[in-house]
Structure 1
Amino acid sequence: MKAIIVLANRLSRVFQMIIKLHILLLFFAFNSFATSYHVTVNGSANGDGSEFSPWDLRTALSHPPSVTPGDTIWLHAGVYKGHFSSDLVGSEDANIIVRQFPGERVTIDGIGQTGSGILSIKGSYVSYWGFTITDSNTQRLSQISGSFPSDIPNATGVNITGHHIKLINVIVHDAPGNGIAAWIQSIDTEIYGCVVYHNGWQGPDRGHGHAFYSQNLNGTKVVMDNLMFNNFSMGLHVYTENGSIQGFHIEGNSCFNNGIISGDTKLTANALVGGSQPADRLVYTDNYTFHNSSIIADNVRFGYAVANGDIIVKDNYMMGGFPVLRINNWNSVELTGNTILGFGKLVYLEVPSGVQTSSYDWDNNTYYAGTHDKPYNHISLNFDQWKQTYSIDANSLYTTDAPVGTKVFIRPNKYEAGRSYITVYNWDLKGSVDVDLSDIIEEGANYEIFDIEYLDHSPLLAGKYQGGSISIPMNLTQKSQPIGNITTVSKHTGLEFGVYLIRSIPVDNRNNNFLTDTKKADIKN
């Protein structure tokens, strides 16, 4: 094992050399009319944004007059301390891009300052790409109940009020409040490929702080291919009391064990869409969730306190929780192709007054009930009673047998060739699982595989891809721990479940997609 780690470290250094040798190729990929600007930790407001006279981050985000739609602002290596606000404005035809420079590592550290966000995004038509947001503040325990404690900082990692914003492959961890928030003003915003973990704080009442908190009215927010895990409260939290939660497309996300680091196993969910106002226009498809057996909260919940509009729940894989899935008061439901596995209750269904469930398209699902013989609804129905009572699931599969084998989901990154997330359900509890990577890694390409729960360390595996399957370890115990004075130890998901990041360099680099370092920069106050 030591030899493997040494090899992985050497290969990481080789990757950096390859990136530097190819760095000039990057600039030929951009439109000849676009300009590249540069930002460094020691940059200046008096600079011109060139490589030799870079800006500081605050200046770059203030939208200097020379920056126009289609331009790229490159962030260079280092820790940028404090809170920052962006007023950049691109155009519908040409986003401005703010991106970590290839092969370098950029961290924005909130250092315990107060405010709405470590990075507050206003403006419009801007893509923020590939860097890390965190907070080195160690005060994570509040003596005040509720969502607005005054005795500790609770800033959100990325707070979005601008519209047509893209947040791409950004890592947000250990923010003292929510990880990412996209509010009602942020029309047609996309959260893509982000890794969001260890965000929030512990109060005397419960854990607070979600991976993603959002509201919406006009347009559609896209939440796709993100990894949300081990936050103090929920993972995906689309909720309102007086606003609006209409228009969400949620696809390809892996959410697991949210709430577990707070020690509260009853009040957290991996995904919640609902509130005191009607939810509507919701699509939830191809998502993967996991709660371990100690968590007796909802895993996935749609609907909360009022009747809602239309929902599509399709081709998702949900394991654990009590219940695994809760559907509360929807006028129209399409729920098909889902796999639902539980240790107790599988599904709770509540129906609005006047709605007939025979109008729902609810069928062709697979249920694993374990030893629970009446896993449906508060009134404890068995499967036959469930089908008869609600006129649903006519062609669905129900079994008390445990699942066998493995189930592997691979999500290639649509913005970076060679980058993918892999989610594995390992029902046979094997020490490793063979995964065919031929569709996502080019033969002969160098690759790295990271355990997402130990992301801030060396790759789990690295090498030159020879084609076919790679054996990915599942018997993992090492795990990154939250920053600060947290008493609960965060444990690895273990053999049953794992999520991995894969990065590779295309052999010819013609697409100019480079590896960017995911590991945490050194944070020193």
Structure 2
Amino acid sequence: MRPIALLVLCCLLRTLSAADHYLAPSGAADGDGTIGNPWNISVVGWPGQVAPGDTLWLRGGTYNVDWTAEPDMLWWNTPGTAAKPVTVRNQTGERAIIDLDFRMVMLGNHTHFIGVEFMCSRPSKVVASGWDPAKPADIGVSGTGVKIINCVLHDLSFISAFKEAVDYECYGNVMYYIGAMGDFDRPFGTTGYLQNDTGTKIIEDNLMLNNVMHGLQIYGSDAADMKNIRVVGNTIMEPGILSGYAGFNAVVWVGERAAENIVLTDNICYQSMPGAGSNVVLWGSGGVLNKNLTVTGNHIIGGSPVLRFGQWDPVTVTGNTLSGDNGLLWYEAALPSGRQYDWNRNRYHYQGSQPPFRLGAADQDFAGWKQATGLDAQSTYSSQRPSAQHISVRPNRYEAGRAHITVYNPALLATASIDLSNCGLGIGQSYRIVDGADFFGSAIHSGTYDGNPVTISLPGKGAPVARIIGDDNPRNFIPSVDHHDGLKLPVHGDGTCNAFVLLPGAGSTPTPTVAKPVISPDGGSFSSAVTVSLSSATDGAQICYTLDGSTPTSASTLYSGAFTMSATTTLRVRAFKSGMNPSPIGSATFTLPSSPANVTLTALPAVVAPGGGVEILWTAPSGRPATDWAALYADGSPIGSEAWWNYTDGAAQGSRRLTAPAQPGRYEVRYYFDDGSAWNANPVMATASFTVTEVTDTPTPPGTTDASSDAGGSGKRCGFGAGLAVMALMLAMSSRGRGPARAVAWPASHSACAPRGRVRW
């Protein structure tokens, strides 16, 4: 074979198969990347060394990024693709530490960092400026599709991912001692500093603990967007505890551009420092109306106040627990007119002397807040702090048997019982649980998994914590007259809130976990009812869901086919299969226009035999057009696939009894407003459903009446009631051009009647 042909063949084979490469602290730039002749870390700046789909294995030890140039920058440029990402991970069982100097830039697209430790050993925590070469290093993500997974990041200035970092994911990491103090200004640095324009950023299941300044900061300006950011399942604790400065756990600080599509779900945000700043801030100085905010299932404890809120619309705030003693919830703006708010079923605990709520500049008690806003109708309020433990177990979706565990322990109990059954451990598999505040220390609990809950002792005040780099540098403890009081050594809290990491060991094969269900569409804002479908990549899995924000269990509603959302709802889903761990929980919020309070539609009974009687009741505003209309669908069918339809003739209220269809299944009646748009764009204002069940013998419904007679008894009215009488005859479909398809069979007594106005079949 000619040499050039051999070269082409080798290059072709190289692109078709992924390769393993090895790096070691003692490796060489001119090594060949094998385990016996590994590279050093300098090669990661040369994109030609690594191809899409390759894996870089980091052998144990410390990689010192301290070269001749000052300040030293590590440009990590290993470009992968969405289909073939480059994976960078520690060698199994070895601790790989990347000791940064000034900055690391994660430049390579679709590079996934897994299980790596990032830190800076420079002892300076007090610096002259934010760009002082003596400051702790920072990490900046700028590549598309970069993921940081199950890593440990500590003793850094900040980790940032701005708009260039499209589809960035930060998942399952342990992050602590982030930030520094400046003689030039207040303390600075955040565990996650985010902006976003395109794609979606995901910040999920991280532990962000004991920092100098803020926890998570989503920050906008006149040039920076904040769109499509999901913050889910994180534990964010003690911002500012190392400086004594009032930091935030999570902040969405809005500038001159509106924030859009921000989700905060199932997070625990804890703050204990007296005089601390706000815990969670969803606010800003830009004076703009922000769009599509979802805040569900969070526990937000402590802060002054616990939650600050600005102007958003639409908004979903449900299922949260807020507890504090120096202000609880401040809505520091005017409520938007015509707002679409689902703000309900929250739990408030307040022990302070000043009023807990604020609307604009007016302080409110709970009753005043509800009256002034119309919100929180079914929420609860207590003047006592929570008493029961709240235990959050978040299984890791990238590593079976690994999980983050957070125990909120307001009664300061000595122990907690932890259910690990959903974490992917196999019976007979060893495991250990480590304190998130001392990740590399001794386990607080270890054992062999037998399927039963485990009881752990909760560390209290004085328990060991990880050593902070610079604790032996006197310069760090000298106060600045204007800006800070010097470094505060980290200490373990009193046990009110603790975070742990479950780590699997050797043993039997881990129990597999059902794939997380896919929700389609995955939430958003809609102008009218939307059809939702669910699916699972695990064959044979059963999907269960809830519509009230609660956690789905195997006893929740079983998914049997597409269904319709016609009102603002948070959908939560989980899949189950015998012999497997339940899937992670999926969640999506659907925001739809609010229905007027006087539009209702009811179907009774909810379950009926084929041919049984169904009573349909409706109310509508008076003065509505006669061309408002109602339609019957097999459950989940989209507009355009009507089994029957008819105008309501503008009737303000009424009831009709009809004969149920012969075909078993779930059926839905929808009430549409004719708003002048195309018929298939009319909004759904109310829905009602009933289920036809299979029976051996079809009973004759007692008291079934001839539904052809209308309220006035004329037998000639061609409207809502007349149409409902023949629903059972309308299930066949016929093809057509414009408008809903249906086979229409009018009762003989109504042979002269036909729908008026525009033709719908």
Smaller-chain TM-score range?
Answer: 0.7 to 0.9
| Cα distance in 2 for residues equivalent to 1:419 and 1:274 | 33
Change over 3 Å in CA distance of 1:402–1:347 after alignment to 2: same
Q: What's 2:440 paired with? A: 456
Q: Does 1:439 align with 2:422?
A: yes
Verify the 8 A CA contact 2:160 2:192 in the aligned structure 1: yes
Equivalent of 1:95 in 85, 91, 101? 85
Deviation for aligned residue 1:358: 5.4
Change over 3 Å in CA distance of 1:243–1:136 after alignment to 2: same
Cα-to-partner distance string for 1:288-313 (whole Å, 9 max, x where unaligned): 11001514311011121122222111
Q: What's 1:418 paired with? A: 401
| Cα distance in 2 for residues equivalent to 1:373 and 1:64 | 63
| Cα distance in 2 for residues equivalent to 1:209 and 1:122 | 21
Correspondences of 1:177-188 after superposition (within 5 Å):
177-178=157-158, 180-188=159-167
Q: Does 1:259 align with 2:240?
A: yes
- One-letter amino acid of the counterpart of residue 410, structure 1: V
Give ranges in structure 2 of 5+ residues lacking alignment: 1-14, 66-72, 478-487, 514-761
- One-letter amino acid of the counterpart of residue 287, structure 1: N
Verify the 8 A CA contact 1:34 1:71 in the aligned structure 2: yes
- One-letter amino acid of the counterpart of residue 378, structure 2: N
Verify the 8 A CA contact 2:427 2:450 in the aligned structure 1: yes
Cα-to-partner distance string for 1:179-206 (whole Å, 9 max, x where unaligned): x211110111111111111111112442
Please give the TM-score of this superposition, normalised by the length of structure 1. Answer: 0.85
Verify the 8 A CA contact 2:428 2:508 in the aligned structure 1: no
Change over 3 Å in CA distance of 1:399–1:500 after alignment to 2: same
Q: What's 2:498 paired with? A: 498
Correspondences of 1:471-482 after superposition (within 5 Å):
471-476=455-460, 477-482=463-468
Deviation for aligned residue 1:130: 0.7
Cα-to-partner distance string for 1:211-268 (whole Å, 9 max, x where unaligned): 111111011101111111111110001113331111101101100001111111x3x1
Q: Does 1:334 align with 2:316?
A: yes
Correspondences of 1:56-71 after superposition (within 5 Å):
56-65=40-49, 67-71=50-54
What SS does the corresponding residue of 1:389 show, helix, strand or coil? helix
Please give the TM-score of this superposition, normalised by the length of structure 2. Answer: 0.59
Cα-to-partner distance string for 1:66-111 (whole Å, 9 max, x where unaligned): x32221110001100014211111112111101111100011112x
Deviation for aligned residue 1:459: 1.4
Correspondences of 1:107-122 after superposition (within 5 Å):
107-110=97-100, 113-114=101-102, 117=103, 119-122=104-107
**Identity of counterpart residues, as a percentage?**
30
What SS does the corresponding residue of 1:424 show, helix, strand or coil? strand
Q: What's 2:580 paired with? A: none
Larger Rg: 2
Equivalent of 1:171 in 149, 152, 159? 152
Verify the 8 A CA contact 2:167 2:200 in the aligned structure 1: yes
Equivalent of 1:45 in 13, 26, 29? 29
Q: Does 1:291 align with 2:271?
A: yes
Verify the 8 A CA contact 1:284 1:312 in the aligned structure 2: yes
What SS does the corresponding residue of 1:164 show, helix, strand or coil? coil
Verify the 8 A CA contact 2:324 2:352 in the aligned structure 1: no
- One-letter amino acid of the counterpart of residue 142, structure 1: V
Change over 3 Å in CA distance of 1:511–1:162 after alignment to 2: farther
Change over 3 Å in CA distance of 1:150–1:38 after alignment to 2: closer
Q: Does 1:193 align with 2:172?
A: yes
Cα-to-partner distance string for 1:27-81 (whole Å, 9 max, x where unaligned): xxxx99321111111112222211122111111452234x322211100011000
Q: What's 1:27 paired with? A: none
| Cα distance in 2 for residues equivalent to 1:442 and 1:372 | 50
Q: What's 1:203 paired with? A: 182
Change over 3 Å in CA distance of 1:109–1:384 after alignment to 2: same
- One-letter amino acid of the counterpart of residue 361, structure 1: D
Q: Does 1:468 align with 2:452?
A: yes
Equivalent of 1:363 in 344, 350, 365? 344
What SS does the corresponding residue of 1:443 show, helix, strand or coil? coil
Q: Does 1:139 align with 2:124?
A: yes
- One-letter amino acid of the counterpart of residue 191, structure 1: C
What SS does the corresponding residue of 1:172 show, helix, strand or coil? strand
Q: What's 1:7 paired with? A: none
- One-letter amino acid of the counterpart of residue 503, structure 1: L
| Cα distance in 1 for residues equivalent to 2:135 and 2:31 | 33
Verify the 8 A CA contact 2:433 2:501 in the aligned structure 1: yes
| Cα distance in 1 for residues equivalent to 2:249 and 2:510 | 39
- One-letter amino acid of the counterpart of residue 128, structure 1: F
Correspondences of 1:263-412 after superposition (within 5 Å):
263-264=244-245, 266=246, 268-276=247-255, 277-306=257-286, 307=288, 308-351=290-333, 355-356=336-337, 359-372=340-353, 374-377=355-358, 378-412=361-395
Verify the 8 A CA contact 1:357 1:392 in the aligned structure 2: no
Verify the 8 A CA contact 1:41 1:56 in the aligned structure 2: yes
Deviation for aligned residue 1:151: 6.8
Verify the 8 A CA contact 2:327 2:352 in the aligned structure 1: no
Q: What's 2:137 paired with? A: 155
Deviation for aligned residue 1:483: 1.1
Verify the 8 A CA contact 1:351 1:357 in the aligned structure 2: no
RMSD: 2.1
Give ranges in structure 1 of 5+ residues lacking alignment: 1-30, 514-525
| Cα distance in 1 for residues equivalent to 2:201 and 2:458 | 34
Verify the 8 A CA contact 2:120 2:136 in the aligned structure 1: no
Q: What's 1:228 paired with? A: 208
How many pairs were matched up?
468
- One-letter amino acid of the counterpart of residue 490, structure 1: P
Verify the 8 A CA contact 1:358 1:392 in the aligned structure 2: no
- One-letter amino acid of the counterpart of residue 43, structure 1: G
Verify the 8 A CA contact 2:284 2:310 in the aligned structure 1: yes
| Cα distance in 1 for residues equivalent to 2:434 and 2:23 | 28
| Cα distance in 1 for residues equivalent to 2:439 and 2:296 | 30
| Cα distance in 2 for residues equivalent to 1:311 and 1:89 | 34
Q: What's 2:605 paired with? A: none
Cα-to-partner distance string for 1:275-295 (whole Å, 9 max, x where unaligned): 323211101111111001514
Cα-to-partner distance string for 1:129-161 (whole Å, 9 max, x where unaligned): 1111111111111245xxx253732531x2101
Equivalent of 1:123 in 108, 120, 128? 108
| Cα distance in 1 for residues equivalent to 2:512 and 2:84 | 19
Verify the 8 A CA contact 2:161 2:195 in the aligned structure 1: yes
Cα-to-partner distance string for 1:307-336 (whole Å, 9 max, x where unaligned): 222211111111000111111121321111
- One-letter amino acid of the counterpart of residue 434, structure 1: S
User: Which is further off, 46-55 or 187-196?
Assistant: 46-55
Deviation for aligned residue 1:511: 9.1
Change over 3 Å in CA distance of 1:143–1:121 after alignment to 2: closer
- One-letter amino acid of the counterpart of residue 85, structure 2: N
Deviation for aligned residue 1:174: 0.4
Verify the 8 A CA contact 1:134 1:174 in the aligned structure 2: yes
Verify the 8 A CA contact 1:91 1:124 in the aligned structure 2: yes
| Cα distance in 2 for residues equivalent to 1:123 and 1:32 | 20
Change over 3 Å in CA distance of 1:123–1:511 after alignment to 2: farther
| Cα distance in 1 for residues equivalent to 2:134 and 2:95 | 28
Verify the 8 A CA contact 1:123 1:163 in the aligned structure 2: yes
Verify the 8 A CA contact 2:313 2:340 in the aligned structure 1: no
